[in-house]
Amino acid sequence: MIIWGWKTTRKTIGHYKEELICKHCNNQSRWVLIKITSWFTLFFIPIIPYSIKKILICPICEHGIEVNGRNKEEIMQNVELY
Full 3-state SS string of 36-81: EEEEEEECCEEEEEEEEEEEEECCCCCCEEECCCCCHHHHHHCEEE
CA 50 to chain centre: 15
Contact 69, 54 (CB under 8 A): no
Please indicate, yes or no, whether the overall pTM of this predicted structure exceeds 0.75.
yes
Residues 3, 63: contact at Cβ < 8 Å? no
Q: Into how many domains does the chain fold?
A: 1
The pLDDT score that the predictor gives to residue 66 is 95
Residue 2 pLDDT level (bands cut at 50, 70, 90) = confident
**pLDDT the model gives residue 28:** 96
Domain containing residue 12: 4-81
- The model's pLDDT over 33-80, given as tens digits with 9 standing for 90+, comes to 999 999 999 998 999 999 999 999 999 999 999 999 999 999 999 999
At residue 30, the pLDDT reads 96
